[in-house]
Structure 1
Amino acid sequence: MRYGILGTTTARTDDGQAVALGGPRLRALLAALALYPGRARTAEALIDAVWDGEPPADAVGALQALVARLRRVLGPDAVVSTAGGYRLCAGHDDVDLHRFQRLADEGTAALAAGDPERAEALLGEALALWRGPVLADLPGRSALVGRYEARHLDARRTRLAAAVALGRADRALPELTELCDGHPLDEPLHALLLRALRAAGRPAEALAAYETVRAGIAERLGADPGPELRALHAELL
């Protein structure tokens, strides 16, 4: 069985058939279990995740009923009882979030090792797993989302860096520009934009982009850009 939590919660059989999961509580329970595949989660942690701090009167009984429904949907061996809780019988690569993280790590390592072609392929495969907001069906997801969204942005940035290294700066520029507009204080991202503009033979636009980020940092933080951006600016001049 394969599980998806990079968007709405999904379950698919090994041959790709979608499994109908039912209502929001059942999807929330599966998301809470899939977040830690192969690891036991206490009943208290699952109750808190599924009901977001507002459990029903008989929370333990309600959780047991949900687990029974989930077993009927996924199969009796998909969720096993542990001391004081439950465990989803799945490996990390069976859950899209964890598969994304493995592929992103491998892609980042490939770029650092001087293999941008492999990096671009791995990171493209990783990013294709995202279907929407991470943990979309999990109430109270906000405490977890920031870390995974930051990892998503980092993977996009690294894939674009690989594209620039492969001489595909022109193709990378539209997405890079959009990302920079949405993250005005992300200096590594803006540094990549300057490099891409320079590689595409557009140094005047690179200088204008530097002035835009410099002014934004000064306005929001009352500071100058960091050494990487300043060094790039000096090279462009």
Structure 2
Amino acid sequence: MHYRVLGTTHAFRDDGTPVAVGGARLRALLTALALRPGRTVQVGALVAEVWDGDPPADAVAALQALVGRLRRALGHGAVASVEGGYRLCAAEDDVDCHRFARLAAEGARALDAGEAAAADALLTEALALWHGPALADLPDRAGEAPRWEARRREAHRAALAAALALGRADEALPELTALCEASPLDERAQALRIRALRDAGRPAEALAAYEGIRRALADRLGTDPGPELRALHGELLAGGEGRPAAPGAGRPAPAAADAGAPPQGPHAAGNLRARLTSFVGRQEDIRALHDDLARSRLVTLTGPGGAGKTRLSQEAAEAEGGPSYPDGVWLAELAPVDAPEAVPEAVLAALGARETVLRGAGTESLRAADPRTGEPLGLLVEHLGRRRMLLVLDNCEHVVGAAAELAEVL
């Protein structure tokens, strides 16, 4: 049997014949099991996912009856009863989402290795497995679906990068334009679009596109473009139009800010700017803050405008550096942020981690543990998870709700 959950849930026999799986609850159960093929899913987890927090009076019996119906549809051997739960008797490659994940990962590796043709074939096959929104038949898609949608966007970007590396800039441009319009602050997509314009012999439009993303980042996040965009801008100014995109374009190489290891050397010092004037008369306040930080993971400074909260916080933060915070003291200035939903991305940018990509051993388990991975907040959690640092959020008043939610998550 083969199973489809990237879209409406379906089951197919080995010869491609569809199997009727009728009823919303039945499809929800099959989706929940297919997400973990070959692994036991506990009864409690299945009840929660199938009934979305509103289970029937005798949930265990109701689930048992539903499993019986699913066995009659798929065949008795398709679902095994195990201690504490049930298991779909299938391999990961029998389920489209897991096959997609494998093909997308192989395509990404091929792209990084400069094998653009192989990457193009693998990523095209992976993306062809999608037939609608991920996990469309789960009553509550908020937990798992965003993770798969983020992977789809990443695979789409990689496929477009492969197309550029193969010299198909004109073909890729319409998709890249639509992608950038949907996600105007996605620097990786914007870099691909600028490369496509350059490779299509439209350098003036490429420069205009760079200026557009530069202004958007400054206006929305108060930051400058990342290193990939800045390097691309330099190439354009140097007259680098018409050159094919490098293999792996749009997939930034692992940087010192990679989530798998703390930063090393001078980069661990943080981003506090040097103050050009002396600071006197508030040593008692700094000592009080030192004591508070020793006791609490979150300390908030309040007071009227002009009371000196920003300067005090920076002086106290700098005094706290060293062994207490081996990964540095970092300031995220939120005054330029005009939309609450942009707060996590602004903090990512301040940390220099806006383009962090998780790779290597443990990546999948990290991503599975937090379905927000791929979104700014999820990336921020991953970036900070293995570090010990002091983070200062300054000028939060106009986005105080979003800043408070961010602080609570971290």
What secondary structure is seen at the aligned counterpart in 2 of 1:80? Answer: strand
- Describe how 1:1-237 pairs up with structure 2 within 5 A: 1-237=1-237
**Greater RCO (Cα-Cα under 8 Å, separation 6 or more):** 1
Alignment length (residue pairs): 237
Tell me which moved more, 25-34 or 102-111. Answer: 102-111
- TM-score, length basis structure 1: 0.99
Identity of aligned residues (%): 67
Aligned-partner residue type, residue 23 of structure 2: G
Q: Secondary structure at the match of 1:3?
A: strand
Q: Secondary structure at the match of 1:77?
A: helix
CA distance, structure 2, for counterparts of residue 219 and residue 90 of structure 1:
50
Letter in 2 for 1:235: E
Cα deviation, residue 219, structure 1 = 1.8
Please state how far the C-alpha of 1:231 moved relative to its aligned partner.
1.7
Whole-Å separation in 2 of the counterparts to 1:55 and 1:36: 21
Q: Which runs of 5+ in 2 are unaligned?
A: 238-410
SS of equivalent to 2:3: strand
CA shift, 1:189, in A, is 1.1
The one-letter amino acid of 1:140's match is D
Structure 1 Cα separation of the partners of residues 220 and 88 of structure 2:
45
Instruction: Tell me the alpha carbon deviations over residues 76-132 of structure 1, each in whole angstroms, 9 at most, x when there is no partner.
Output: 000000001000000000000000000001111111111100100000000000000
Larger radius of gyration: 2
Shift of 1:208: 1.1
Offset of residue 216 of structure 1: 1.4
Structure with a larger share of its residues in helix: 1
Q: Return the alpha-carbon distance in structure 2 between the equivalents of residues 16 and 146 of structure 1.
A: 28
Aligned to 2:86, the other structure's residue is in SS state strand
Distance of 1:41 and 1:52 partners within structure 2: 16
Following superposition, the deviation at residue 213 of structure 1 comes to 1.0
- How much has 1:141 moved relative to structure 2? 1.2
- Cα distance in 2 for partners of 1:41, 1:218 equals 47
- Provide, for residues 24-69 of structure 1, a one-character-per-residue CA deviation record: whole Å limited to 9, x for no partner: 0000000000000000000000000100111011100100000000
Matched AA of 1:185: L
- CA–CA separation in structure 2 for the residues paired with 1:30 and 1:220: 42
Whole-Å Cα distance in 2 between the matches of residues 218 and 144 of structure 1? 32
Aligned-partner residue type, residue 213 of structure 2: V
Q: Distance in 2 between matches of 1:213 and 1:147?
A: 26
**What amino acid is aligned across from residue 98 of structure 1 in structure 2?**
H
d(CA) in 2 for partners of 1:74, 1:92? 17
Partner deviation per Cα, 1:121-170 (whole Å, 9 max, x = no partner):
00000000000000000011111122111110010000110110011111
Q: CA RMSD in A?
A: 0.7
**Partners of 1:103 and 1:10 in 2: CA distance:** 20
CA separation in 1, counterparts of 2:114 and 2:225? 27
Alpha-carbon distance in structure 1 between the residues aligned to 2:53 and 2:220: 36
Q: Which range moves more in the overlay, 217-226 or 68-77?
A: 217-226
Displacement after TM superposition at 1:6 (Å): 0.1
Structure-1 separation of matches of 2:109 and 2:121: 12
Give the whole-Å Cα distance in 1 for the aligned partners of 2:47 and 2:19.
23
Q: Counterparts of 2:99 and 2:162 in 1: how far apart (Å)? A: 20
SS of the residue 1:53 aligns to:
coil
Q: Distance in 1 between matches of 2:4 and 2:213?
A: 37
Q: Alignment partner of 1:122: what SS?
A: helix
Give the Å deviation of 1:228: 1.3
Unaligned runs of 5+ in 1: none
